[in-house]
Amino acid sequence: MKNNRIIKWQGIANGAMLTLTVLGMLLFSGRHATAGDSGKPSNKYQVNIQDFSFQPVTLSVPVGATVTWTNKDEEPHTVFSSDDVFKSKALDSDESFAFTFSKAGTYKYFCSVHPRMVATIVVGGAKKPEPMKMNMRAGSD
């Protein structure tokens, strides 16, 4: 199975999908996506779903960032915004879901299958973390 199968796409025009999917492939093939066609820095971030937790549990991203969640467990998980902003289907092992954040704010989310799994995406916070460090645990705001 392809590692980066996009299950559901929300919040972004279809025309951008192919480009971002290709970027996702680059990301998963071990290369950090650092530039798109325009040469601007990448707005792509990754959250791993592993050991019944979202890693990192808090992720700060700039406005316009696309976050891709990938299920690394043998158990299905979902990505559900607590405020119904985004909602994935059930992700089987190695399946992914992506969402582009176009508005600043704090987005709490959880796994609807295992609701003890809670996490947060902070969009447009004061400090913009480097995409290269995106898998490290971010400090809470």
Partner 1 sequence: MAKGNIITENLNRDGVDRRGFLKCMAWAGTGAFCVLQGGVLKSFALGDSALRRVPKVKGELAFVQISDSHIGFNKAANPDVVATLRAAIAKINALPTPPAFVLHTGDLSQLSKPEQFDTLEQTLNEIRTDKIFYVPGEHDVLDDNGAAYRARFAKDTLGDGWYSFDTDGAHFIGLVNVMNLKAGGLGNLGPDQLAWLEKDVHHLKSSTPIVLFAHMPLWLIYPEWGWGTSDSEQALGLLKRFGSITVLNGHIHQTMRKVEGNVTFHTAMSTAFPQGAPGMAAAPGPMKVPAEKLRSVLGVTDVNFIRGSHTLGITDSTLDSAL
Contact residues for partner 1, defined by CB under 8 A: 51-53, 73-76, 78, 80, 82, 89-90, 92-93, 108-110, 112-116, 118
Taking the complex as a whole, how short is the minimal distance between the CB of residue 75 and partner 1, in angstroms? 5
Q: Is the CB of residue 96 less than 8 Å from the CB of residue 6?
A: yes
68 vs 71 by CB, closer to partner 1 = 71
2 vs 72 by CB, closer to partner 1 = 72
- Quick one: CA dihedral 40, 68, 21, 123, positive or negative? negative
Taking the complex as a whole, how short is the minimal distance between the CB of residue 112 and partner 1, in angstroms? 6
Structure tokens at 82: 């607590």
64 vs 105 by CB, closer to partner 1 = 105
Rounded CA-CA distance 116/123 in Å is 23
Q: Count of residues for the chain?
A: 141
